[in-house]
Chains A and B, each alone.
Chain A
Amino acid sequence: MPGNLSARSSGVKGVTDWTDFADYVGARREAWVRAAYLLVGDVHQAEDLVQGTLIRVWPHWRRISAQGDPDAYVRKAIFHQFASFARTRRWRELSDGLRPGTQSAESDTYSGHTARFDAAGAVDTRLQLRETLAALAPRQRAVLVLRYYLDLSEAETASVLGCSIGTVKSQASKALKHLRTLASPGAEPEPTDRPPTKEVKA
C-alpha cells in the first residue's frame, strides 16, 4: 500500500509525486486489472500487464497528473501494452489454451479465485464467456472491453486504438454477434477475424 513506500523509491520525482501515484494505483488497480483480465483472459497475466504499464507510466506521472485525466493516459497505455502482448508467442499460447475444447479451457485458471464461484451456473457462464472472448480477435476484444466494459464512446474507443470510428463499429458489431451465442447457445458463433492457429501434431 502507499504507506509502505519509501521516499527512496520515488526517485528523482518528489515524495508527493510518488504518494500521488501510489494513491492512484491503489484506487484504480481493480478497474485496470479487471479490464486487463477481459483482454487477456488470465488474472496473473492481467496483473502483469497492468504492472508493466504502470511501470512505464511512472516516469511521466508528473505530466500526466498535471493534465488532470490520468485514466485516459493509463487506459491508452494498457491497450497499447496489450497490442504488443498480442503479437507475442506467449499470447498465442495463452489464447489457444483458453479456446473451447482445450484442457486449460476446461479448468479454471483463476487459481486463488476459484473458491469464490459458489454457483455452478455462474462458473459455466464464466467459462463460456471466457472461451467466447478467447475466440475473438485481439482488436475485437479490445473494442468490446472499451465500449461495453469501460463504457467509452465510439470516438474515444477509436482514439485509444488508433483506428477509425467505422472500424470500431464493425469490430463491435462482430464481437456482439459472437457474444450473442452465449445468450442463445444453439446459435452458431459468427466467424471472427482471428486467424486460425496451426495445430501442433504430437
Chain B
Amino acid sequence: MNPAASDDWEDENAARALLQQHVADIHPAPDLIDRVEAGIRQRRRTRRIVLPVTMVTAAACVVALAFAVERTAAPVTHVAQAAQPVIACPNPLPSGWANAGVPATPPVPGAARALLPGVPKAAVSCSTIDPARATALTAQQLSAAVAALAAAPFNSSTSTTVVIPPCEEPAQLERPLYLIFEYPDGTHLTITANAETACDGYGPVSWYANNGQVHTAAFQSSVLDSLAGSAASTASAASVAAR
C-alpha cells in the first residue's frame, strides 16, 4: 500500500472520529420545530405586508418613470420669429406660478422660464426675467406690457415686440428683462427692458411687429400709472385674453 495513501486514510478516519466525538454531546433544543413553526408564521405575516407594499411601490415607480419619459419626450415648441429671440416654450404650459430658474442671458432655445403671477395663463405662456429684479419690476412691467397689448393694433397673424424702459433705477437692472406673452391663438408678444434703454420716468415705448414694421408710441405716464396695480393688470390681461 502506498504510504502516503495510508496516511491519508488514517487522517480521514481520524477526522471522522474527531468530528463525531466533537458533536457527540450536542443536543438541539427540543423546541426547534416550534421555533420553525413560529418562523414560518412570521415569514408569512411579513410577506403579507411586504409584498403588497413592494408591488404598490413598484407600480408607482413604473408610473413615475413613464411620466418622466413622456415629459422628456414631449415635443418642445420652438417659436422662431423674425427679429425676435427664439424662445422655447413648454408644451403643455406649466401650471402655477413659480420662478423656475432664469438665465443670465437673453432667452435662447431651451432657456429656463419663469411665470409671473397675476396674469392668466391663457395670456402668458412663458417668460424669462431677471431674478434679481423680478420682484421689484414684475407688477409694473407686467402692467406696462398689458397696457401695450391693449393699446397695440392687434393682429392675430402677427407677433409684436414692445420695448419698455425699466421704470425704476435702470442702472440696477444688470441684465435684460424679457417677458414673453403668448396668446391663445399662438401669437407672441415679447417685452424687453434693459439698462441701456432711456428711462426718464415713464418714457416712450416702441413696439415692433415681427413683419418688420416699427410702431412707436408715447406711453403716457397716466396710462402706466393707471395700470401699475396688480388688479388693473389682471383686469387688462383678462381683457387681452378675451380678445
Contacts of A38 in B (CB 8 A): 19, 22-23
Q: In this assembly, does A98 line the interface, its C-beta being within 8 Å of a C-beta of chain B?
A: no
How many A-B Cβ pairs are below 8 Å?
100
Picked from B16, B28, B41, B44, the residue with its CB within 8 Å of the CB of A148 is B16
- CB pair B25 A1 closer than 8 Å: no
List residues of A (166-202) whose CB comes within 8 Å of B's CBs: 173, 175-177, 179-180, 182-183
Q: Is there a chain B Cβ closer than 8 Å to A45's Cβ?
A: no
Q: Beyond A5-B33, A25-B32, A37-B23, is A176–B15 a contact (Cβ under 8 Å)? A: yes
Given the complex, which residues of B lie within 8 Å of A11, measured CB to CB?
40, 44
A49 CB to closest chain B CB (Å) equals: 11
Whether B43 is near chain A, meaning CB under 8 Å from some CB there, is: yes
Query: In the bound complex, what is the Cα–Cα distance between A55 and B40 (angstroms)?
Result: 6
Contact between chains at B26 and A183 (CB < 8 Å):
no
Chain A residues near B21 (CB-CB < 8 A): 122, 125-126
Using Cβ atoms and an 8 Å threshold, which residues of chain A touch B32?
Answer: 25, 29, 33, 47, 50-51
| Across-interface contacts of A37 in B (CB, < 8 A) | 23, 26
Is B16 a contact partner of A4 (Cβ separation < 8 A)? no
A94 at the interface (CB under 8 A from B): no
For B16, list chain A residues within 8 Å (CB).
148-149, 151
User: How distant is the Cα of A8 from the Cα of B19 in the complex, in angstroms?
Assistant: 40
Are B33 and A9 in contact, CB atoms less than 8 angstroms apart? no
Interface of chain A residues 1 through 37 with chain B (CB within 8 A): 1-2, 4-5, 9, 11, 22, 25-26, 29-30, 33-35, 37
